[in-house]
Copies of this chain bind each other. A is one copy, B any other.
């Protein structure tokens, strides 16, 4: 008889990843496909991507051995509230031969679980957007920010990109040459650091270049702030310090001053070795000196772990250690 297996899915905007492991932690399969978020892509296309990734991941195992599955998904609540979306996921699950139940969980919880098996703690995520959440008994409790680019996401990639442009425009208004950050922004947006004889023409060109596109594309400028800060530009460093302050303020809305559980950092801006991650880590250590600081890891493996942890006979901590070796921030 084969060992019991579990299936974990990390469904993102651009990639769907599946991990299949035994409840003892043996890696048995992996699959990958395009973005499978039904909110972004529509239920039908999302289901196709899920099916492709699941089929690949299950090719060397008997899907009938699966005991549990977890699908990690941004906007999990919206999927659960949408009968059509839920039905599309159900149909794919059966079509690939899975007979076990599955649970849809928010990507913030999966990010948390990818960093630690501790049931109580905090997750702080900064990518295109920004959100913090308290985790209690390994379920999402209170949430802060994640309000979207117009009203929130303070300290996110969008926020950094917008601040980079605001800094550039303020410098153009005030006169003088561009800072290193402004030079990067001008080059990216206008193809050159040349300032028009009538400075307002360059201001107008910057504003028009940005406002012709969807606002969220400002997030594409965030790496310029990281680059300029790495090169020692004080303006970029000040923007990152502001972003770190915003992110820690967001976390403080849902984490008491005396909490000691771990803080898991997630999202592209905090999981790489970026100057923003450094600034946030320092600010968190300052505010919660007791808290272990951890970095989010493999989302699909974390989803598989979340599926396995409640099954009979599973040592959740040992399995986490095997699937997701912790890395400190």
Enumerate chain A interface residues (CB-CB to B < 8 A): 142-145, 147-148, 150-152, 162, 165-166, 169-170, 173-175, 199-200, 203, 207, 210-211, 215, 250, 253-254
Contacts and interface: CB of A to CB of B under 8 A. Distances in A.
B174 A152 contact: no
Contacts of A144: 170, 173-174
Given A144-B170, A151-B166, 20 more contacts: A142-B200, A144-B174, A145-B169, A145-B173, A147-B166, A147-B169, A147-B203, A148-B211, A150-B162, A150-B211, A151-B162, A151-B165, A151-B169, A151-B207, A151-B210, A151-B211, A152-B166, A152-B169, A174-B253, A174-B254
15 contacts: A142-B175, A142-B199, A142-B200, A144-B170, A144-B173, A147-B166, A147-B203, A148-B207, A150-B210, A151-B165, A151-B211, A152-B166, A152-B169, A174-B253, A174-B254
A162 B175 CA distance: 29
A201 to B, nearest CB: 10
A254 B203 CA distance: 14
A141 to B, nearest CB: 10
Contacts of A145: 169, 173
A143 B175 CA distance: 10
Q: Determine the main DSSP class of A at the interface with B.
A: helix
A215 B142 CA distance: 27
Contacts of A170: 144, 253
A29 to B, nearest CB: 35
B207 A173 contact: no
A269 B250 CA distance: 30
A283 to B, nearest CB: 18
Contact of A147 (B142, B143, B150, B207): B207
A196 to B, nearest CB: 13
Contacts of A147: 166, 169, 203, 207
Given A142-B199, A144-B173, A150 B215 contact: yes
A170 B169 CA distance: 28
Nearest to A78: B204
Q: Which 8 A-B pairs have the closest CB atoms?
A: A144-B173, A174-B253, A173-B253, A147-B169, A147-B207, A151-B165, A143-B200, A150-B215
B173 A254 contact: yes
Contacts of A203: 143, 147
A173 B211 contact: no
Contacts of A143: 173, 200, 203
A215 B211 CA distance: 13
Contacts of A166: 147, 151-152
Contacts of A174: 144, 253-254
> Which of A143, A173, A200, A254 has the most chain B CB within a 10 Å cutoff?
A173
Contacts of A169: 145, 147, 151-152
A272 B146 CA distance: 36
A254 B171 CA distance: 11
A82 to B, nearest CB: 15
